[in-house]
């Protein structure tokens, strides 16, 4: 089992890029692997092809934008909600520009939380501290939703290194760890927030 801290993960990504990959390719790989996992889960469990993706503004959001594009092009009903104000990271912005018009961009208040999958792409490995009240409110709606909750890399609100969890953390049924499991995912007290951890190959 490969376990990497946020800093170690960044070093692994840097090494992959130095070896001929690119950060854009790693993001595409992450989004593709997560999309394929959702498609498999839908087929295995007989779930509708619908997804609500909650996004931030960094590279975790970029992974979610890749998913939104790929799911929409596969014929899924896709809603996307941006929860954080401010400028997107360069890679997230690049993938936001590639979203097809069939992706329904919603506010947190107008989104339909009864989608078969609710995907958390808000903070990822960069989070520490405590979630803002408005984000906790949205995660409360998501955590009460009937769909399968899926976190990308780390449930938002969880410090991936220390395992410290903010109040109102996104509670995933499945966490899709990119490239390696993160230490905070493995602590027993975080099992209700992390759910089942699946490690996806992104080309590291």
10-49 residue pLDDT tens = 999 999 999 999 999 999 999 999 999 999 999 999 999 9
Residue % of the chain over a pLDDT of 90: 97
pLDDT at 65: 98
User: Tokens at residue 149, please?
Assistant: 């909750």
pLDDT at 122: 97
User: Tokens at residue 85, please?
Assistant: 């104000």
| 115 backbone φψ class: left, alpha, beta (φ>0; ψ -120 to 50) | beta
pLDDT at 127: 92
Closest CA to 47 of 70, 68, 76: 76
Helix (H) or strand (E) holding 63: helix 59-73
Beta strand 117-121 with 104-106 is: unpaired
Q: What is the mean pLDDT of residues 167-195?
A: 97
Q: What is the DSSP letter of 181?
A: B
CA-to-CA distance for 122 and 124, rounded, in angstroms? 6
- pTM, full prediction: 0.95
Domains in the chain, CATH or no CATH each? 22-42+57-200 (3.40.50.10260)
Helix (H) or strand (E) holding 95: helix 90-96
Beta strand 50-55 with 77-82 is: parallel
Compute the mean pLDDT over every residue in the chain, rounded to the nearest whole number: 96
Q: What is the mean pLDDT of residues 170-179?
A: 98
Instruction: Please say if the pLDDT value at position 141 is more than 90.
Output: yes
* Phi, psi (degrees; rounded to nearest 5) at 164: -70, 135
pLDDT at 87: 94
Instruction: Please say if the pLDDT value at position 126 is more than 90.
Output: no
Kindly report, residue by residue over 77-114, the tens digit of the pLDDT: 999 999 998 899 999 999 999 999 999 999 999 999 99
pLDDT at 108: 96
Instruction: Please say if the pLDDT value at position 1 is more than 90.
Output: no
């Amino acid at each position: 089992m490969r376990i990497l801290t946020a800093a170690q993960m960044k070093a692994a990504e840097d090494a992959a890029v130095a070896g001929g990959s690119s950060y854009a390719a790693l993001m595409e790989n992450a989004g593709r692997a997560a999309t394929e996992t959702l498609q498999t889960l839908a087929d295995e469990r007989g779930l509708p092809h619908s997804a609500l993706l909650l996004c931030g503004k960094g590279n975790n959001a970029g992974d979610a934008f890749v998913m939104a594009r790929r799911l929409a092009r596969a014929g899924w009903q896709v809603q996307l909600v941006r929860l954080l104000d401010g400028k997107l990271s360069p890679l997230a912005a690049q993938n936001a520009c590639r979203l097809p018009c069939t992706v329904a961009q919603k506010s947190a208040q107008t989104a339909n939380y009864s989608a078969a999958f609710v995907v958390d792409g808000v903070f990822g490995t960069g989070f520490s501290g405590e979630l803002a009240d408005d984000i906790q409110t949205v995660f409360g709606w998501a955590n009460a939703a009937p769909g399968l909750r899926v976190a990308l890399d780390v449930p938002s609100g969880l410090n991936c290194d220390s395992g410290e969890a903010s109040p109102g953390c996104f509670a995933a049924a499945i966490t899709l760890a990119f490239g390696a499991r993160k230490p905070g995912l493995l602590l027993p007290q975080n099992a209700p927030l992390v759910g089942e951890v699946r490690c996806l190959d992104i080309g590291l």
